[in-house]
Copies of this chain bind each other. A is one copy, B any other.
Amino acid sequence: MGGSLAAALSSQGACRAVVGVARRSVTLATARSLRFIHSGTTDLQQGVQSADIVVLCTPVRDILDKIGLIGAWLKPGCVLTDVGSTKSAICQAMAYLPEGVQPLGGHPMCGKETSGLTMAEPGLYEDKVFVLVPLPRTSDQALRLATSMVRAIGARPLVLDAQAHDRIVASISHLPYMLAVTLVKAAEALTEGDDLTWRLAASGFRDTSRVAGGSIDMMLDILMTNRSAILESLGQAQDHLSALTRLLQDEDYAQLRDALEAARRRRTEVFR
């Protein structure tokens, strides 16, 4: 996500300078050679101390660590934001930043289950919703700067509060992940070690299970920091799965048809 953001900002000439910060210098060399960044450093303090805007692009718990770490290094008025998948925990941590810092949460609604710089694409954010979560302390000017960054990469800014964001992503992003994992584990149990099953898996299984192939570190951080909303989603999923199962058990095909038809209609409305 960070690589794609840097690529988008650089290719649009949106910043005087895009400075990359990474753990390994080879990552920075690659990013420079791809012209994703103007300069780079493995020294976090050096990378952020003269920035007008800092975007943290790591899994949620690492973002939480970094928020605690870099506050004192940022220059007055610096906008600190992130692309983390959950917002309540991050915005809570941001509330404790030194007074001069201008924090707000960010979350671009575009997934990649592949990560790493070589998979980065400058067009990743194009036409995607980019949620911005200002804190009570966030100035209008800071929100405007973040908004213009979002627009510069072709995304559509949407201001939400952290709780509303976290409930929505629990149902449209974290629940799909848990159901994809459920599918793989159920199919695995049903195969009883017979590899034939997997040879027959076609596009339906591939798409429904795709997100189960995503990064475990990222997903565990999400599960830890959005636990209650995800548990609510899981409860709903269990209820609906039980209801569908019961209709099939009872051979109530009229009601089953209504349920399937309602889901088909909704799915078709959302993704034309």
- Asked if B109 and A216 sit within 8 Å, CB to CB, the answer is no
Contact for A186 among B171, B182, B200, B209, CB less than 8 A: B171
Question: In the complex, A178→B208 CA distance in Å?
Answer: 10
Q: Is A262 an interface residue (CB 8 A)?
A: yes
- Asked if A253 and B208 sit within 8 Å, CB to CB, the answer is no
Interface window among A18-26, A50-58, A136-144, A217-225? A217-225
- Asked if B171 and A176 sit within 8 Å, CB to CB, the answer is no
Q: Is A119 an interface residue (CB 8 A)?
A: no
Interface window among A32-40, A68-76, A92-100, A239-247? A239-247
> Contacts of A210 on B, CB cut-off 8 Å?
204, 207-208, 267, 271
Q: Is A162 an interface residue (CB 8 A)?
A: no
- Asked if A176 and B208 sit within 8 Å, CB to CB, the answer is yes
- Asked if B185 and A259 sit within 8 Å, CB to CB, the answer is yes
- Asked if B171 and A240 sit within 8 Å, CB to CB, the answer is no
> Contacts of A260 on B, CB cut-off 8 Å?
181, 212, 216, 219-220
Q: Is A179 an interface residue (CB 8 A)?
A: yes
Question: In the complex, A122→B123 CA distance in Å?
Answer: 32
Q: Is A16 an interface residue (CB 8 A)?
A: no
> Contacts of A13 on B, CB cut-off 8 Å?
none
- Asked if A185 and B238 sit within 8 Å, CB to CB, the answer is no
- Asked if A263 and B181 sit within 8 Å, CB to CB, the answer is yes
Q: A131-B200, A208-B207, A219-B260 are in contact. Are A236 and B179 (CB under 8 A)?
A: no
Q: A190-B233, A208-B180, A241-B237 are in contact. Are A263 and B185 (CB under 8 A)?
A: yes
Question: In the complex, A266→B206 CA distance in Å?
Answer: 12
- Asked if A173 and B257 sit within 8 Å, CB to CB, the answer is no
Question: In the complex, A260→B230 CA distance in Å?
Answer: 15
Q: A131-B200, A200-B131 are in contact. Are A183 and B176 (CB under 8 A)?
A: yes
> Contacts of A203 on B, CB cut-off 8 Å?
110-111
> Contacts of A267 on B, CB cut-off 8 Å?
180, 184, 209-210, 212-213
> Contacts of A186 on B, CB cut-off 8 Å?
171, 175, 233, 236-237, 239-240
Question: In the complex, A73→B98 CA distance in Å?
Answer: 85
Give residues in A with beta carbon < 8 Å to B. 109-111, 128-129, 131, 158, 160, 164, 167-173, 175-191, 196-214, 216, 219-220, 223-224, 227, 230-242, 244-245, 248-249, 251, 253, 256-257, 259-264, 266-271
